[in-house]
Chain A
Amino acid sequence: MDDLSTAGRHRSESGFTNVGRAPWWQRGFFASQTAYVVLAFLIITVAISFVADNFLNPENLLRTSQNFSYVGIVALGATLVIITGGIDLSVGSVMALTAVVTMIVMKWIAETALGFVSMPLALLIGLMVAGFIGLVNGLLIARLKLSPFVVTLGMLSICRGLTYVITKGRSQAPGGPSVDTFYALTNGKLFGLPIPLVYLLIGAAIMGFVLHHTAAGRHIFAIGGNERAAALTGVAVERVKIGVYVACSMTAGLAGILMSGWLGAAQANLATGYELTIIAAAVIGGANLAGGSGGPVGAIIGAALIEVIRNGLVLAGADSYWQTAIIGMIIIFAAIVDRLRSLRAA
């Protein structure tokens, strides 16, 4: 509101009659790729509801929203990394490693004198492991200036390998006195909503606020726009970059723990290959791999779109292997739309 009136005043002051302010549908949220994806999401949802009548069934909608919450939570973290112009391929493995470490530590502490706090302690240790992996990624990328692709590709392998070494390939169930609380916290319902969805929404709200209203959030965008300029103007580039990798790893850790609650146990092959779905979700939602753009709404919509298509194909009785191919097409299509949009704006 305030923006509109002051912009109008400014325009009349400067003598530039050939440049006005873009109309509302060509700027801000409405001009972003996220807005187009929201539109595509609505159209696809309506289309699927015609093909598969069970789709709009509340039961199915809740299940679908629980399914995409895991990818969505990590897509939030991945989006932060992508905005700075980086990439994190290790998220799927971090999900698995965090999940098995948490389960094993929980059972182990349950047998000691600290048994009564075995669950919170295990969650804390699990998330610290995830955070530590992010810290290592961040230090290697920000301090040693190694390529994010290479570092996190290596980390993908290291974490998956460690997961198999620790578990010897066996699945790890949670244990101890607070197993029921664990399931309630990871796989329960709150206000009728699946709890992972609640975590996703809270995470997205925090991320949106931090990105747009704090200096740290603006620094993340500045680094993605022009890292050298950000450094010259005194942005603590290294610290911010390390921070986003830590945050990304921790969202992966959280999602891994939630997923093991949903599956009842943590398997060594948990979330194998998820990094691609997660990055796809972020990119479909408008995070630009070149850095400088992206946001929480996009991450959620991207994750939701992928799951809705998968679910729709299943309900429509189509071969579910089509899902992979269709997601690929959507990624490329999203890139084309983004390109056309920026061509028109330029």
Chain B
Amino acid sequence: MTTPIIAMRGIVKTFGAVQALRDVNLHLMPGEILGLVGDNSAGKSTLMKVLTGAYTRDGGDVLVNGEITHFKSPHESRDLGIEMIYQDFALCGNMDVGQNIFLGRWPKRFGLFVDRPKMYEEARAVLSRLKVDVNSVFQKVESLSGGRQQSVAIARAISFNPKVVIFDEPTANLSVMATERLLETMSELKRQGVAQIIISHRLTDIFEVGDRIMVLKRGENVGDRYIAHTTEREVLELIVSGTPETALTAEEAMKKAA
């Protein structure tokens, strides 16, 4: 029994009157791709932000490699190799592609001055490694289309050489071609042993690359299945009419089916 790289236990988060998360559990094994699905406002993004430290939890534990953590900001989770691509990208439109990829950690000369040639050189390398077709690292991000901006955000996250990557609806703005490339990138990252969580409303994408899928409904776990042992139809049913009582773990569901 290997330890999960990420384990979240009994997570509770409220925003005023809204109970966004009620006793939610999640685990992620090394090198695993987990799909996270659920209706709008089910709490998917909130759960991931609790994981990275963008939000502080009201209750529950977050364990990384079996150890309890208390991230106060995404900066701290990044130090442990956890990287998230936010639904709303989080880029600076007034700066160019190269600077955005290195936002907040520009390569330095003498520990003080930004080393521009090196920055653009490395940015170009990351983009071509990902086959992201941004025409120039000097282009201002606000002049890119939404899909390209998303590609830049993804390039940015991956350039940190993370151990865990969280994608929050990465394919929502992407063309068919760009989606294919992203799914390829995810498989490639998986081969390199990077564990990933992908939030998506497009089950097809998750079924193409995922190992396991987890369903949230109104802030509660309502199901957990191995992709190999479930169907899009069953998952849709869980999203629409799952209850905490019928949740089961992926193991239980597999045994029950057998």
Which positions in A face B, CB cutoff 8 Å?
2-3, 6-7, 10-11, 13-16, 19-21, 27, 212-215, 217-219, 221-222, 224-226, 228-235, 291-293, 345-346
> What are some 21 contacts across the A-B interface (CB < 8 A)?
A2-B117, A10-B135, A11-B136, A14-B134, A14-B135, A21-B136, A27-B138, A212-B114, A213-B114, A215-B112, A215-B114, A221-B94, A225-B93, A230-B103, A232-B86, A232-B90, A233-B105, A234-B105, A292-B92, A293-B94, A345-B143
Name the CB-closest residue of B to A3: B138
* Residues in A neighbouring B104, C-beta threshold 8 A: 219, 222, 230, 233-235
* Residues in A neighbouring B117, C-beta threshold 8 A: 2
Q: How far is the CA of A35 from the CA of B242 in the complex (A)?
A: 61
Q: How far is the CA of A253 from the CA of B93 in the complex (A)?
A: 34
Is residue B167 contacting chain A, with contact meaning CB distance below 8 A?
Answer: no
Shortest distance in angstroms between A256's beta carbon and chain B's nearest beta carbon? 31
Is residue B74 contacting chain A, with contact meaning CB distance below 8 A?
Answer: yes
How many A-B pairs fall under 8 Å by CB?
A: 94
Shortest distance in angstroms between A341's beta carbon and chain B's nearest beta carbon? 13
Name the CB-closest residue of B to A209: B113
Contact A20 B135 (CB under 8 A): yes
Is residue B231 contacting chain A, with contact meaning CB distance below 8 A?
Answer: no
Contact B114 A228 (CB under 8 A): no
Contact B91 A229 (CB under 8 A): yes
Which positions in B face A, CB cutoff 8 Å?
54, 73-75, 78, 86, 89-95, 99, 103-106, 108, 112-114, 117, 120, 124, 128, 133-138, 143
Contact A215 B106 (CB under 8 A): yes
Contact B135 A19 (CB under 8 A): yes
Q: How far is the CA of A224 from the CA of B103 in the complex (A)?
A: 13
Contact B114 A214 (CB under 8 A): yes
Q: How far is the CA of A217 from the CA of B128 in the complex (A)?
A: 28
- Which DSSP category, helix, strand, loop or mixed, fits chain A's interface? helix
Contact B75 A234 (CB under 8 A): yes
Shortest distance in angstroms between A240's beta carbon and chain B's nearest beta carbon? 11
Shortest distance in angstroms between B256's beta carbon and chain A's nearest beta carbon? 41
Name the CB-closest residue of B to A226: B92
Contact A218 B106 (CB under 8 A): yes
Shortest distance in angstroms between B212's beta carbon and chain A's nearest beta carbon? 27
* Residues in A neighbouring B95, C-beta threshold 8 A: 218, 221-222, 225
Most buried by A among B73, B92, B95: B92
* Residues in B neighbouring A16, C-beta threshold 8 A: 133, 135
Contact B143 A346 (CB under 8 A): yes
* Residues in B neighbouring A10, C-beta threshold 8 A: 124, 135-137
Q: How far is the CA of A7 from the CA of B74 in the complex (A)?
A: 33
Q: A10-B136, A10-B137, A219-B104 are in contact. List 15 more A-B contacts (CB 8 A).
A: A6-B120, A11-B135, A21-B136, A214-B113, A221-B94, A222-B103, A225-B93, A226-B93, A229-B90, A229-B91, A230-B103, A231-B73, A233-B74, A233-B75, A233-B105
* Residues in B neighbouring A215, C-beta threshold 8 A: 106, 108, 112, 114
Q: How far is the CA of A188 from the CA of B215 in the complex (A)?
A: 75
Contact A13 B133 (CB under 8 A): no
Contact B136 A7 (CB under 8 A): yes
* Residues in B neighbouring A217, C-beta threshold 8 A: 114
* Residues in B neighbouring A15, C-beta threshold 8 A: 133
Most buried by A among B86, B91, B94, B124: B94
* Residues in B neighbouring A291, C-beta threshold 8 A: 94
Shortest distance in angstroms between A112's beta carbon and chain B's nearest beta carbon? 40
* Residues in A neighbouring B75, C-beta threshold 8 A: 233-234
* Residues in B neighbouring A27, C-beta threshold 8 A: 138
* Residues in A neighbouring B78, C-beta threshold 8 A: 234
* Residues in B neighbouring A234, C-beta threshold 8 A: 73-75, 78, 104-105
